[in-house]
Chains A and B, each alone.
Chain A
Amino acid sequence: MLFNSLEYPVFLAVIFFLYWFVTTGKTARNLLLVTAGYVFYGWWDWRFLSLILISTCVDFSVGLALGRTENKQKRRTLLALSLVTNLGILGTFKYYDFFADSFANLLTAAGLQVNPISLNVILPVGISFYTFQTLGYSIDVYRRKIEPTRDAPAFFAFVSFFPQLVAGPIERAGQLLPQFQQTHTFDAKTAREGLGLILWGLFKKVVIADTCAVVANFIFANHAAQGPLVLAVGAICFAFQIYGDFSGYSDIAIGSARLFGFKLMTNFRTPYFSRDPAEFWRRWHISLSTWFRDYVYIPLGGSRGRRERVILNVMATFTLSGLWHGANWTFVIWGFLNSLYYLPSLWQGKKKTGRTEETGKLPSLDALGDMAGTFALITLAWVFFRAPDLGTALAYLSGFFDFFIFTGLAQLNQMTGGSFYGLFVLIPFLLAVEWLHRDQEHPVPVDHFPTLLRRPVYYAMALAVFVLMEHQQAFIYFQF
């Protein structure tokens, strides 16, 4: 079920009603949320519910078993069972064909003819998200960071919580699981904030991201006929498309969770105001970045040790993070490129947090330069993320060196049905809202406005969403 479909508000209203008016007590409510999660996921394809069920059962059992034994060898074996199950499912459904084909291509290049066996399975929606979430639980129990839970309904609800099931935020068991182990009481203010976040998230997705998508899709599909300026517009549009799309999803997820009294982690903190790539990665898809930091980068050795080792750790973590996004070399290169961006900040010793928040009402020229430079680097890398294959990405980038700078610009608005000009309003609007609320955890643009002003703005946003929702476009991160 898509958040930007008409089924979702109906589904949400039904679950809200059942949660607050029909069920009482945490177990009954957790069972309701499990059912809701399975219905939500099964709406797309019920067959793949079995994968969630397997992951959940294995990690719940592994957690219990880890809690019963102090034997190191046994504990390692149990963790291995969780890792093999979860990464095995992920590997089979997401990566098998990619690696089999890549291996076959390598052998063919070496002069050996092979016919790889392809599984050609459908990629289950959101598999990378819930797999990482449930895997994180087993690792945390193994590390004794959290106690294993014996509350099966709570654990099942934790894994299949519908607001964040298919595209995150990837929650930590230590943060979210305890919320399923308490009985929530309704708080109107939290619920109202939740609704505001849902609306703002929908606006970012349906109005901003989907409009950017029209322009980006056109330019990427016809990149060979465009000059450098239009190619730059295409990359910038994709940068805002993916931001509006994914942060919009996160806002809807966080808002939906709030309706039930749950607090999900922040996933984006105005990333395009970052002043260097390292800061960007502390502000973009925070739940995944911190997952890789805690479960991959630090176990590899983190920033400790010799410089060569640290470089290797950073590169490995970013490259794996790229691969997490999709089974394609474009994602691997995207991750690798970002690791190169990240490295200088390791030794510069720059202050790590709060740089954007500390900036005055308007950014200084120095800060503005840093932001623009960072945005340019990140946007360049997005070309690999967006392109269907490496050849297209390289051809796109080579187009930046074309002599005829303005080729294609005059026709762009007409070819995109007026969407291009629309972006001159939408993108500055998004940036202005984000800038003004950069010190807030989840900014909803008009939340602090007086009622008389707030209502019309909310209505205008809702109407824009409703009208533009006609051509439902799936969220980009669903495919991961």
Chain B
Amino acid sequence: MRRFLFKTTLWLVGFFLILKAVGMLDNLDRTNENILRIRQVGTLSNLDVLFVGNSYTHTGIDPLQLRESGLETYSLGINAAGVAFYRLLLDDYTRQTGAIPKTIMLLVSPMSFSRFADTFPSIPIHRYLYHPLSNETVAWRFGAPYDQLLRRSFRKGLANAPLLFTAEEESADMKEMLTYRGFVPSRMTFSGKVHPEIAASYEPLSRDPFPMDSLEDLQDLALEYRNKGARVVFYELPTGEAPGLFHAQFLDDYERALADLKKNGFEVLRIQWDTRPLDFRNMDHLNSRGAARATGAIAEYLSEKPGTAAGGHAEESVR
């Protein structure tokens, strides 16, 4: 029995080690836009404004447009980012550059509080950081499903293994993204009709409650960076049809959450205008035209309200 148990345990340990060893190659990929963004922003220690958010950010904020206003900016929009991703991205950035951006813009939207936010198994951002975190750490800290993280890392590692021996070229799209400092311009225009399959994939959102604990985590994060000397602004971009995916109670709670942020002395910038499909590339992401308007509104806000790190600003609505 003892021998059997010993051999079985040894076998399982071997199995786990193979999983881990191959999984360690999961971030070798040089054509992954999330990895490239994180690597690029980690070289910029003199940022005036760092935009952190999800895909709404990387399609909706154009840093080169803000440069015209004299602001060094980066659009760190990572797909599916929520509060946990924001935390990891900011901590990794400050650790890598040793600097704190003068202004940190944190995206708020119903989607960044939804079940589609902070999905570590599909976007394992912790593995893409300058200082990657292990799957174990993320499973422990954020309750991410460990088996799925292991599986994802193993698969990705297996696919990346040949990269150990080959040089990989960044694609033209990736080069463009780096030129635009994280921004992904799109000239596509939304048809105005949501494909039934896409609508169906978002259907679970209509049942979810608003996660109050995420709001607390967001406030803690903002407070921490404000205490470190950064000006923290919450910003909201137009999201077209997306609010319709949530139920009324969720949206009410979301509005209360924004009011809460304001009440606690944070700046909340809500960029709104009478949006048309022409401003979007799909159901909820801005296209180049929409991004130009949104970025313009932010530039205007930042120039009009230079602000201080201590915060204490009221909600602003830019139309």
CB–CB B1/A188 < 8 A: yes
CB B8 to nearest CB in A, in angstroms, measures: 7
A contact residues around B276 at 8 Å (CB): none
Q: Given A186-B1, A188-B1, A466-B19: A6 and B147 within 8 A (CB)?
A: yes
Would you give the 0/1 interface string for B147-185, flagging 1 where the beta carbon is closer than 8 Å to chain A? 110110011000000000000000000000000000000
* A409: Cβ under 8 A from any B Cβ: no
B contact residues around A458 at 8 Å (CB): 11
Chain B residues numbered 186-223 whose CB sits less than 8 Å from any CB in chain A: none
CB–CB A191/B4 < 8 A: yes
Expressed in whole angstroms, the Cα–Cα distance for A458 and B15 within the complex equals: 10
Residue of B nearest to A191 (CB): B4
Would you give the 0/1 interface string for A442-476, flagging 1 where the beta carbon is closer than 8 Å to chain B? 00000000000001001100110011011000000
Chain A residues numbered 16-36 whose CB sits less than 8 Å from any CB in chain B: 20
Select B1's contact among A20, A195, A459, beta carbons within 8 Å: A20
Expressed in whole angstroms, the Cα–Cα distance for A191 and B148 within the complex equals: 29
CB A185 to nearest CB in B, in angstroms, measures: 10
Select A188's contact among B3, B14, B19, beta carbons within 8 Å: B3
Q: Given A6-B147, A470-B151: A463 and B4 within 8 A (CB)?
A: no
* B248: Cβ under 8 A from any A Cβ: no
CB A83 to nearest CB in B, in angstroms, measures: 44
CB–CB B3/A466 < 8 A: no
Chain B residues numbered 121-168 whose CB sits less than 8 Å from any CB in chain A: 147-148, 150-151, 154-155
Would you give the 0/1 interface string for A98-109, flagging 1 where the beta carbon is closer than 8 Å to chain B? 000000000000
Expressed in whole angstroms, the Cα–Cα distance for A463 and B150 within the complex equals: 11
Expressed in whole angstroms, the Cα–Cα distance for A459 and B154 within the complex equals: 13
Select B18's contact among A191, A459, A470, beta carbons within 8 Å: A459
CB B25 to nearest CB in A, in angstroms, measures: 14
Q: Given A459-B18, A462-B15, A466-B19: A188 and B4 within 8 A (CB)?
A: yes
* A192: Cβ under 8 A from any B Cβ: yes
Chain B residues numbered 1-43 whose CB sits less than 8 Å from any CB in chain A: 1, 3-4, 8, 11, 14-15, 18-19
Select A467's contact among B1, B14, B151, beta carbons within 8 Å: B151
CB–CB B8/A195 < 8 A: yes
CB–CB B148/A192 < 8 A: no
CB–CB A463/B15 < 8 A: yes
CB–CB B15/A459 < 8 A: yes
B contact residues around A455 at 8 Å (CB): 11, 14
CB–CB B15/A467 < 8 A: no
Expressed in whole angstroms, the Cα–Cα distance for A462 and B148 within the complex equals: 16
Expressed in whole angstroms, the Cα–Cα distance for A6 and B148 within the complex equals: 11
Residue of A nearest to B158 (CB): A467
CB A240 to nearest CB in B, in angstroms, measures: 24
CB A3 to nearest CB in B, in angstroms, measures: 16
B contact residues around A186 at 8 Å (CB): 1, 4
Select A466's contact among B4, B11, B151, beta carbons within 8 Å: B151
Select B155's contact among A459, A462, A467, A469, beta carbons within 8 Å: A467
Residue of A nearest to B14 (CB): A459
Chain B residues numbered 30-63 whose CB sits less than 8 Å from any CB in chain A: none
Expressed in whole angstroms, the Cα–Cα distance for A458 and B4 within the complex equals: 16
CB B22 to nearest CB in A, in angstroms, measures: 8
CB B203 to nearest CB in A, in angstroms, measures: 18
CB–CB B154/A467 < 8 A: yes
A contact residues around B18 at 8 Å (CB): 459, 463
Q: Given A459-B14, A459-B18: A192 and B4 within 8 A (CB)?
A: yes
Expressed in whole angstroms, the Cα–Cα distance for A20 and B8 within the complex equals: 15
Expressed in whole angstroms, the Cα–Cα distance for A23 and B242 within the complex equals: 58
CB–CB A463/B1 < 8 A: no
CB A256 to nearest CB in B, in angstroms, measures: 14
Expressed in whole angstroms, the Cα–Cα distance for A249 and B148 within the complex equals: 23
CB B249 to nearest CB in A, in angstroms, measures: 30
B contact residues around A467 at 8 Å (CB): 151, 154-155
Residue of B nearest to A190 (CB): B4
Expressed in whole angstroms, the Cα–Cα distance for A411 and B18 within the complex equals: 36
A contact residues around B1 at 8 Å (CB): 20, 186, 188
B contact residues around A192 at 8 Å (CB): 4
Expressed in whole angstroms, the Cα–Cα distance for A230 and B3 within the complex equals: 51
Select B148's contact among A20, A463, A470, beta carbons within 8 Å: A470
CB A301 to nearest CB in B, in angstroms, measures: 50
Residue of A nearest to B7 (CB): A192
Expressed in whole angstroms, the Cα–Cα distance for A449 and B299 within the complex equals: 70
B contact residues around A6 at 8 Å (CB): 147
Chain A residues numbered 130-178 whose CB sits less than 8 Å from any CB in chain B: none
CB A186 to nearest CB in B, in angstroms, measures: 5
Expressed in whole angstroms, the Cα–Cα distance for A466 and B154 within the complex equals: 10
Expressed in whole angstroms, the Cα–Cα distance for A463 and B15 within the complex equals: 8
Expressed in whole angstroms, the Cα–Cα distance for A42 and B105 within the complex equals: 50
Expressed in whole angstroms, the Cα–Cα distance for A6 and B146 within the complex equals: 11
CB A45 to nearest CB in B, in angstroms, measures: 22
Expressed in whole angstroms, the Cα–Cα distance for A192 and B10 within the complex equals: 14
Residue of A nearest to B154 (CB): A467
Residue of A nearest to B3 (CB): A188
A contact residues around B11 at 8 Å (CB): 455, 458
CB A139 to nearest CB in B, in angstroms, measures: 39
B contact residues around A466 at 8 Å (CB): 19, 150-151, 154
CB A32 to nearest CB in B, in angstroms, measures: 17
CB A460 to nearest CB in B, in angstroms, measures: 10
A contact residues around B8 at 8 Å (CB): 195
Expressed in whole angstroms, the Cα–Cα distance for A104 and B277 within the complex equals: 53
B contact residues around A462 at 8 Å (CB): 15
Pairs of residues from A and B, 8 with the lowest C-beta to C-beta distance, nearest first = A188-B4, A186-B1, A6-B147, A467-B151, A462-B15, A191-B4, A470-B151, A467-B155
Report which B residues bind A (CB closer than 8 A): 1, 3-4, 8, 11, 14-15, 18-19, 147-148, 150-151, 154-155
Can you list 25 pairs linking A and B with CB atoms under 8 Å apart?
A6-B147, A20-B1, A186-B1, A186-B4, A188-B1, A191-B4, A192-B4, A195-B8, A455-B11, A455-B14, A458-B11, A459-B14, A459-B15, A459-B18, A462-B15, A463-B15, A463-B18, A463-B19, A463-B154, A466-B19, A466-B151, A467-B151, A467-B155, A469-B151, A470-B151
Please give 6 more A-B residue pairs, beta carbons under 8 A apart, in addition to A20-B1, A195-B8, A459-B14: A186-B1, A192-B4, A462-B15, A463-B15, A466-B19, A467-B151
